[in-house]
Amino acid sequence: MASPRMKMEQSFDFGEPSAQDAVGSASESPGAVFGISPPESSPRGGRNKRRDRPSWVKLTYTPYFDGHLWRKYGQKKIKDAEYPRLYFRCSYREDRQCLASKLLQQKNGEDPPLYEVTYTYEHTCGAPPVPFPDIVAEPQAGREGLVLRFDSPGGHGDAQMQQQGHYQSTPRNPFMMLSFGSSRQTHDQQPAFRSDLEAGSPSFPTELLPAPAPVPAINGDTDMFSTLESFAHDFDNHMHFSDNTHLPYNNISDDGYY
């Protein structure tokens, strides 16, 4: 489709000083503005194609639950990679000049599959964290695989979910249930989180979010930051596995970073 492309001098430029300033140097300031912070010593050095961009990698089974709203903007088959790479960026990118983006690469076809998530830039959008549900993984009755059930932790998230009107009853809602189907997910390329990738919904249901909050003072948001940071780090703590359900965590280091 021969479309007149706008090329790189669009409104948004990675070389823009203000943007760089807003992000700061991730390697110097592990205290992220917002969201998952780079574990300070995992810049992917020479591996990073856009080398001037701060990035860090995380291994996770739940790549969509990192407390932010993401919009998918691309997908590409990577040479020598079994699964396609998915490209996401912050939903508030235009609104707030948030540079954060992430790159999702499925690592294996296990049940559940393991993903390598490469985050680039920190969030400068100051968007409120997506309320973290209490997650219970349990075997599906009569089927192989796992079901992740998202109970409410009580409090704000609870109210917001109930606002939905499908509380704990709508399998299509990624917040309610994720199905780890080992039973032949015909498209091998599709991650098991089909509610996200196939149902055409954002990584997180936008309707669950409160109205966008004003961008917080960057220096004064330690509360929010610690909340979100623990959000990410505490994922394992929120995740309960009912009897005889265990996941192969062995090749993930401490916080999932490496």
- Closer residue to DNA, CB minimum distance, 10 or 18: 10
The C-alpha angle 182, 187, 188, rounded to 5 degrees, equals: 60
- Cβ-based nearer residue to DNA, 50 or 246: 50
Nearest to 96 by CA among 129, 130, 124: 124
Question: Quick check: 159 binds DNA (CB under 7 A)?
Answer: no
Does residue number 51 form part of the binding site for DNA (CB under 7 A)? yes
Cβ distance 10 to 28 under 8 Å? no
From the list 90, 105, 77, the residue with the least C-alpha distance to 191 is: 105
Cβ proximity to DNA: between 159 and 199 the closer is: 199
Q: Which of 7, 142, 243, 250 binds DNA (CB under 7 A)?
A: 7
187 binds DNA (CB under 7 A): no
Single residue of 28, 41, 50, 141 touching DNA by CB under 7 A: 50
Take residue 163 and report the two structure tokens written for it: 């606002």
Can residue 28 be called a binding residue for DNA (CB under 7 A)? no
Binding residues for DNA, rule CB under 7 A, total 40
Supply the minimum distance, in Å, between the C-beta of residue 103 and DNA: 6
Asked if 253 touches DNA (CB under 7 A), the answer is no
Rule CB under 7 A: is residue 4 a binding residue for DNA?
A: yes
Q: Are 120 and 54 in contact (CB under 8 A)?
A: yes
Residue 10, interface with DNA (CB under 7 A)? yes
Facing residues of 119 across strands? 56, 102
DSSP 54-112: -EEEEEES-TT-SSS-EEEEEEEPPTT-SS-EEEEEETTHHHH----EEEEEE----SS
Q: Which stretch binds DNA (CB under 7 A): 20-28, 196-204, 214-222, 227-235?
A: 196-204
Whole-number minimum distance, CB 224 to DNA, in Å?
22
Q: Closest Cα partner for 49 from 87, 5, 21, 93? A: 87
**Nearest C-alpha neighbor of 92 from the set 52, 64, 122:** 122
Contact between 101 and DNA by CB under 7 A: the answer reads: yes
In terms of phi and psi (left: phi > 0; alpha: psi -120 to 50; beta: otherwise), the region of 180 is beta
Q: Determine, following the binding rule CB under 7 A, whether residue 211 of this chain makes contact with DNA.
A: no
Which residue carries 């498209």 as its tokens? 187
- Site residues (CB under 7 A) for DNA, limited to 66-95: 71-76, 78-81, 85, 87, 89, 91
> Which positions from 102 through 131 interact with DNA, judged by CB under 7 A?
103, 120
Nearer Cβ to DNA (89/221): 89
Does 202 bind DNA (CB under 7 A)? Our answer is yes
Strand partners, 137: 148, 241
Task: Enumerate binding residues for DNA (CB under 7 A).
Answer: 1-8, 10, 12, 49-51, 71-76, 78-81, 85, 87, 89, 91, 101, 103, 120, 172, 196-203, 206
